[in-house]
Amino acid sequence: MVGDSMHPSTRKIIVLKPALLSPFWRFFGYFWQFHCWPDHLLSCITAILRASSPPFAAMLSQLDSLKTEALTALDTLSDEAALEAFRVDYLGKKGKLTALSGGMREVPADLKKEVGAKLNEVRDAITSGLTVRLEALQAAKDASAVAGIDITLPGRPGAGVGSLHPLTQIRDLAVRTLRRMGFTLADGPEIETEWHCFDALNTPTDHPARNESDTFYMPDGKLLRTHTSSVQVRTMESAKTLPVRIIAPGAAYRRDEIDATHLSVFNQIEALYVDTDVSLADLKGTLEYFFREVFGPTTVVRFRPHFFPFTEPSFEIDVKLEAKGKEARWIEIAGCGMVDPAVFAEISKKRGDNLFDPEKVTGFAFGMGLDRLAMIMHGISDIRHLIENDVRFLQQF
Amino acid sequence: MQVSLNWLQTHIDLSSYTTPQLSDLLTFAGIEVEGIEVKGLATDKVIVAQIQSFEQHPNADKLSVCQVDDGSGTLRQIVCGAKNFKTGDKVPLALPGAALPGGFEIKEGKLRGIDSNGMMCSGKELGIGEDTGGLWILDADLPIGKPINQIVESDTLLDLEITPNRSDLLSHLGLARELAALTGLPLKGVRDHVKASSTTRTAKADEVTLAATDGCPYYTARVIKGVKVGPSPAWLKSRLESIGLRPINNIVDITNYVMMEMGQSLHAFDLDKLSGGIVVRRANEGEKILALDGQEYALLAEDLIIVDHQRPLAIAGVMGGEETGVIEGTTNILLESAYFTPSGVRRTSRRLSLHSDSSYRFERGMDPKQVQGGSDLAIKLILEIAGGVAEPELRVAGEAPALVSTVELDEVRTHRLLGIPTLTTGDAHDILEKLGLIKQSANAEKSLWTIPSYRLDLHRSVDLVEEVARVIGLDRVPSKFNATFASGDATDRHYDHAMQLRQALVNRGYNEAQTLRLISTPQIEDALGNPLAQAGAAMLKNPLSEDLTALRPSLIPGLLASAALNIRQGASRLRLFEVGRVFLKMPNGMVREEERLAILLSGPVSPSSWHGRVTAAADVFDLRGVVESLPGVSALETKALKDNGTFLMHSELKIGNRVLGWIAQVHPARARQIDARQPVYVVELLLSALRQGSTGPAKFTDLPRFPGMTRDVAFELPADVSHSKVSAFFASIKEPLLIKSELFDVFTDPTGTKLPVDRKSTAWTLTYRNSEKTLETAEVEAAHARILAALQKALPVTIR
């Protein structure tokens, strides 16, 4: 085989004198290169050439031994600097291989091709040896760079992990859901007039909710709104056209002692839809869709008749929810109803026009406590957690 | 309201309904069932037994060893801890094997070494009566050995939430009437006993005078003489006890019974203690009355009272007086049955914080048509139970007001409002008729209805629509999904902006807080003296407690309080922020509501971890960096303000001429009050100012096509020349090639060895670029030299 003839032990004795390469050899080299000659024929010809061209043979032999020497030396090198020195030593401008290749000038023209090929072969062997060695060294270095790292250790905390308050999260969930359903946001003052908070919402003048024991008042007679429903009134008061289709998340106040289930300031979200043909069917469809979006597609909702001064008919809404490890049960979650015509009448009186003519328009409204919703969703047992802002609480959300 | 199912069943046979079915039926008719309680014993192993003898337990001071006759012929030995019995008393005895309420089973055993073969019980232990402080002593005539559950029937109690519009449901008969309408079951004939049967005559002026007909337009009185006041019979006691009322005496119990039976609140006076006739009038300012609860109440001119010719007898509709009530020994009584207007009763009862079953009913509105029937039922029972002779006629003053009239139902609007295609006019009319309404006339568009006198809530067409909706329920209403396009306005944009700010802070590791909008008066100190503060805080007129007296004029007090709470819990690294509304009392006295963002920072830069246990404490520049990173903030300027007791390094933050807010370190003295061991920094910003900074989509600047060159310069200058002066110099210099100046080092030496203490050394990187071509070194050198020359001219610097 060709490979056998290149074994270092047989090549060592060949001393090439490239200048003596005959045209025949050039011809022969061509075949050697492109055709795979039978082994015995090859060695026979090589023997003839060695005998007939001593300088050529000497150069070939020198190249072979340089190759052996280089490859042996390469094995002993263990760092990049040494490899670079090796590269300069053999392949550099003043390197050993470069020096040997200077002998090409003396090789007879007809043998140049064959010696040149040998030269290339040696250069390739050294270069690829060098590359292999470099890559191995790099690989070893890369491997040792990560060796011993315990990837199970926790990550670097950076600036720490922030969190949105659970009330913000639940409010945003409600807002995003209702916006998809074509509601826009509305807002109003928290310090309200009695008219916006009660009168316009058909609340009797002696209704207990108006009492100073239940509602916070300001020295000037205004009050802190007891529900976000006052935003409904503000919206209708200033609406330019129908339909009115708004949601109003916001704070509301009740003069309750703070305990595990009550806050004197709490959060609600309110919705109002008024047009010329809004029915109970719209209310039902809207709320069922909303609660399924919020609590999941299999959520069951029920409507219990109830009483509110500002809607008729009125309903309370229960959602069937599973508490952790407990049987699913109905949880009261919202109030709703068809806007009472008395509300439209009062708005019309204030506006002095008939955009909200109680004989022509209908509407629905619903509202729910966001604190309660957050407590249900997250299994929070004490409402005071929502205002204390204990970081150990906040970071759970 | 507590309702006894047994009592209810005297009016309507509900045996075809299980309790859960009944509960659902009520709930979906708008009568929420808030609780169901089953009373009474299931086991028959609790029997009547008689104590034959007892002696002191030899090993226990508090125990007795009793020999008890259980009817078996041999005495049974029971060890007992109660003291309230004597030999011969009959008591309930739980035999071994009896299961008592709460899953407690009686077993034979030894108590302190003495055999005890059962347990003698209190009413409470049997789940029947209230705790009376010992054994339940039974009537002496009960046969020994009879199971208790044959003596005291079991009952189911429903706790119902009656909405304020349905005062007609505040009695067993009222509820039975509603259930009859909902189920189609007939009412039993027993309801007839509430119908007026007495003859009436107009009261003479010296008998009854109505001096305030707006508060009491209708009053009746009947005199019964020769009654014997004493304990009520067992049936009456048990009726009242079943719904949690305490029996007092037969007369008082009868008035309570009538109220719970049919909703009419009555009052019985001891006739012999009255002087002269009854007057119903407004109280004199400051007039006092000693009420049945033993309390004296001072009255106002708005309160309606019942008086005789000498003194106040009762607070009308709320509570009778202590001195003229019916007690043991009373023989002659005057029974009041009247109609008091709701608003007056409500006002008085609220103001006095005096709430009774009577006021509860009157303030929701009673049916004036039942005033006479109520009186008649009570008289009938008094004569039966307490004897005596009633005057033949009911004395009547005034007239029962007509509170209901006919109502027109708009058929078209009904269908539009309900949106139920399958609902026919006939269906709707059937429902109304079941509820006791009477159709007077009907055509395709409208029908006219007579309203029963007890349905005070039905006045308008929509009230009838509600009845229809309530009875058919929402199950028959189709779910309609319908939306219209909605165009957002400023409120929508403001909401999105606030969420964007929140998210930006969360991404920087901050926890969102939500603090109460109400703060205490001392907390106001934390909110004042800053550039956003106005005249002060808006105080509540009627605060509930000292902790919540004012609307917050700033978010900082709440955040400081939250920081204090967290520090108490051992937290040292605080990153809190809040977005919310504040309330500013303006110099003109008005209150302005404004949305703000506040951030509080204290403690190490990074959370501790295995990478490095202790990191440097964050400082004001960490907080400023956060502010500078917020959307809408660019070219932040600061103006130092005077420090005050609460804040150090107090500075106003501005963008151009626009005030953005303020930043400060909480004064160490204030920080010590909340036990903070690391400096606390706060910033408060106006959301409106932040919004002004984020205007529309960002505009793209072409990327530089030619490389820039940088030159560093270090210079010394007096320590009191602020960074803003130097940066203003670089910002203002007109050197077209200079595109950026960046501070990269500030050096001071407090020891004065490397640099005098009043000097500082700063180092800047200046970046030069020509957007049209590649720069040549020479032109950069020239520009740099020009800048350094200008710098030395403009500021007292020494280039190093």
Q: Are residues B393 and B431 in the same domain?
A: no
User: Strand locations in chain A, DSSP E?
Assistant: 184-185, 191-192, 223-224, 244-253, 265-275, 301-308, 311-321, 329-339, 362-369
What is the average pLDDT value for chain B, to the nearest integer? 91
As given in the structure block, the two tokens for residue B211 are 């001096």
Q: Which amino acid is at A106?
A: E
Q: What is the CA radius of gyration of chain B?
A: 41
Tell me if B484 and A184 make a contact (CB, 8 A cut-off): no
Tens of pLDDT along B292-320? 999 999 999 999 999 998 899 999 999 99
Whole-number Å distance between alpha carbons of A133 and A126: 10
In 3D, which of B216, B177, B223 has the Cα closest to residue B201?
A: B223
The DSSP code sequence of A184-203 is: EE----SEE-HHHHTGGGT-
In 3D, which of B154, B51, B44, B41 has the Cα closest to residue B97?
A: B44
Which pLDDT score is estimated for B220?
96
In 3D, which of B752, B672, B671, B763 has the Cα closest to residue B717?
A: B763
What φ, ψ does residue A340 adopt, rounded to 5°? -65, 135
A340/B contact by beta carbon, under 8 A: yes
In 3D, which of B753, B751, B741, B750 has the Cα closest to residue B715?
A: B741
Residue B714 has pLDDT above 80, yes or no: yes
Tens of pLDDT along B777-794? 999 999 999 999 999 999
Q: Helices (H) and strands (E) in chain B — how many of each?
A: 18, 42
Q: The dihedral of CA B181, B185, B187, B189: what is its sign?
A: positive
Nearest-neighbour CA in chain B from A248: distance (Å): 10
Cis bond upstream, residue A313 (ω within 30): yes
Q: Are residues B210 and B120 in the same domain?
A: no
Q: Are residues B263 and B386 in the same domain?
A: yes
As given in the structure block, the two tokens for residue B713 are 């310069």
How many Cβ atoms sit within 10 Å of the Cβ of residue B18? 10
Q: Which amino acid is at B775?
A: L
Q: Are strands B538-539 and B550-551 parallel, antiparallel or unpaired?
A: antiparallel
Q: Are residues B51 and B33 in the same domain?
A: no
In 3D, which of B459, B541, B580 has the Cα closest to residue A194?
A: B541
Nearest-neighbour CA in chain B from A348: distance (Å): 18
In 3D, which of B314, B329, B305, B306 has the Cα closest to residue B207?
A: B306
**Mean pLDDT across B169-192:** 89
B376 is a domain residue = yes
- Looking at residue B134, which CATH number applies to its domain? 2.40.50.140
Q: Which of B444, B476, B508 is the last residue of a domain?
A: B476
How many Cβ atoms sit within 10 Å of the Cβ of residue B83? 10
B185 is a domain residue = yes
Q: Which amino acid is at B102?
A: G
Mutate to test the interface with B, among A290, A388, A396 (most CBs of B within 10 A): A388
Whole-number Å distance between alpha carbons of B530 and B528: 6
**A220: chain B residues, CB-CB within 8 Å:** 589
Q: Which of the pair, B550 or B482, is modelled with greater confidence?
A: B550
Which pLDDT score is estimated for A16?
44
B412/A contact by beta carbon, under 8 A: no
Q: Helices (H) and strands (E) in chain A — how many of each?
A: 16, 9
Question: DSSP H helical segments within chain A, as ranges?
Answer: 2-5, 8-11, 23-34, 39-52, 54-76, 80-91, 96-101, 109-146, 166-180, 194-197, 229-238, 280-295, 341-351, 370-378, 385-388, 391-394
Which pLDDT score is estimated for A6?
42
Whole-number Å distance between alpha carbons of B187 and A162: 64
Q: Are strands B518-519 and B550-551 parallel, antiparallel or unpaired?
A: antiparallel
Burial label, B479 (beta-carbon count in 10 A; 0-12, 13-18, 19+): middle
- Looking at residue B453, which CATH number applies to its domain? 3.30.56.10
Q: Are residues B529 and B651 in the same domain?
A: yes
Longest Cα pair distance anywhere in chain A, in angstroms? 132
Tell me if B480 and A362 make a contact (CB, 8 A cut-off): no
Whole-number Å distance between alpha carbons of B57 and B112: 8
Burial label, A66 (beta-carbon count in 10 A; 0-12, 13-18, 19+): buried
Tell me if B462 and A159 make a contact (CB, 8 A cut-off): no
User: C-alpha B509: how far from its chain's center?
Assistant: 35
B698 is a domain residue = no
B329 is a domain residue = yes
Whole-number Å distance between alpha carbons of B742 and A18: 67
Residue-number span of the structural domain to which B18 is assigned? 2-40+156-194
B481/A contact by beta carbon, under 8 A: yes
Contact status, residue B577 vs residue B510, Cβ threshold 8 Å: yes
Whole-number Å distance between alpha carbons of B722 and B711: 22
Q: Are strands A265-275 and B288-290 parallel, antiparallel or unpaired?
A: unpaired
A172/B contact by beta carbon, under 8 A: yes
- Looking at residue B568, which CATH number applies to its domain? 3.30.930.10
CA dihedral B368, B373, B375, B380 (to 10 degrees): -170
Q: Are residues B53 and B79 in the same domain?
A: yes
Q: Are residues B126 and B266 in the same domain?
A: no
As given in the structure block, the two tokens for residue B70 are 């259980």
Nearest-neighbour CA in chain A from B567: distance (Å): 9
How many Cβ atoms sit within 10 Å of the Cβ of residue B224? 23
Which pLDDT score is estimated for A288?
93
Mutate to test the interface with B, among A170, A180, A185 (most CBs of B within 10 A): A185
Tell me if B480 and A284 make a contact (CB, 8 A cut-off): yes
Which pLDDT score is estimated for A232?
95
3-state helix, strand, coil in chain B (%, to 5): 30, 30, 45
End-to-end CA, chain B:
89
| Closest residue of chain A to B503, computed from CA coordinates | A164
As given in the structure block, the two tokens for residue A4 are 């056998």
CB pairs under 8 A between A and B: 236
Cis bond upstream, residue B587 (ω within 30): no
**Mean pLDDT across B337-366:** 92
Tell me if A208 and B346 make a contact (CB, 8 A cut-off): yes
Q: Which of the pair, A134 or B486, is modelled with greater confidence?
A: A134
Residue B152 has pLDDT above 80, yes or no: no
Task: Return the SS3 of A2.
Answer: helix
The pLDDT profile of chain A, 397 residues, written as one tens digit per residue, is 444 444 444 343 444 444 444 555 555 544 445 454 555 555 655 555 554 555 677 778 888 888 888 888 888 888 888 888 988 988 888 888 888 887 777 777 787 888 888 888 888 988 998 898 889 888 988 898 888 888 898 888 888 889 999 999 999 999 999 999 999 999 999 999 999 999 999 998 878 788 888 899 999 999 999 999 999 999 999 999 999 999 999 999 999 888 888 899 999 999 999 999 899 999 999 999 999 999 889 889 999 999 999 999 999 999 988 766 678 888 899 999 999 999 999 999 999 999 999 999 999 999 999 999 999 889 898 999 999 999 999 999 9
Q: Are residues B635 and B718 in the same domain?
A: no
Whole-number Å distance between alpha carbons of B319 and B434: 36
Q: Are residues B503 and B585 in the same domain?
A: yes
Q: Which amino acid is at B56?
A: Q
Which pLDDT score is estimated for A90?
86
SS (H, E, C) B439-458: EEEECCCEEEEECCCCCCCC
Contact status, residue B270 vs residue B251, Cβ threshold 8 Å: no
Q: Which amino acid is at B607?
A: P
Contact status, residue B453 vs residue B367, Cβ threshold 8 Å: yes
A219/B contact by beta carbon, under 8 A: yes
Contact status, residue B432 vs residue B439, Cβ threshold 8 Å: yes
From residue A87, how far is each of A78, A91, A104 by CA, in Å? Answer: 14, 5, 21
The residue written with tokens 């291989």 in the block is A97
Residue B211 has pLDDT above 50, yes or no: yes
A158/B contact by beta carbon, under 8 A: yes
Look at A273-277, B110-114, B211-215 and tell me which has the smallest mean pLDDT.
B110-114
**Mean pLDDT across B114-130:** 82
Q: Which of B377, B398, B419 is the last residue of a domain?
A: B398
What φ, ψ does residue A288 adopt, rounded to 5°? -60, -45
Tell me if B416 and A279 make a contact (CB, 8 A cut-off): yes
From residue B576, how far is each of B547, B600, B607 by CA, in Å? Answer: 22, 5, 14
In 3D, which of B342, B339, B7 has the Cα closest to residue B164?
A: B342
B482 is a domain residue = no
**A395: chain B residues, CB-CB within 8 Å:** 511
B62 is a domain residue = yes
Q: Which amino acid is at B188?
A: K
pLDDT class of B369 with cuts at 50, 70, 90: very high
B443 is a domain residue = yes
Which pLDDT score is estimated for A66?
86
How many Cβ atoms sit within 10 Å of the Cβ of residue B292? 18
The residue written with tokens 């409500």 in the block is B346
Which pLDDT score is estimated for A17?
46
Nearest-neighbour CA in chain B from A294: distance (Å): 16
The residue written with tokens 């009038």 in the block is B281
B34/A contact by beta carbon, under 8 A: no
In 3D, which of A18, A31, A47, A294 has the Cα closest to residue A178?
A: A294
Residues 6+ apart with CB under 8 A from A6: A64
Q: Are residues B652 and B630 in the same domain?
A: yes
Q: Are residues B228 and B349 in the same domain?
A: yes
Whole-number Å distance between alpha carbons of B256 and B747: 89
In 3D, which of B273, B275, B239, B277 has the Cα closest to residue B259?
A: B239
Number of domains in chain B: 6
In 3D, which of B407, B510, B543, B271 has the Cα closest to residue A394?
A: B510
Tell me if A164 and B506 make a contact (CB, 8 A cut-off): yes
- Looking at residue B380, which CATH number applies to its domain? 3.50.40.10
Q: Which of B92, B126, B152 is the last residue of a domain?
A: B152
Q: Are residues B90 and B135 in the same domain?
A: yes
B700 is a domain residue = no
Whole-number Å distance between alpha carbons of B751 and B253: 93
Tell me if A168 and B502 make a contact (CB, 8 A cut-off): yes
SS (H, E, C) A199-230: HHHCCCCCCHHHCCCCCCECCCCCEECCCCHH
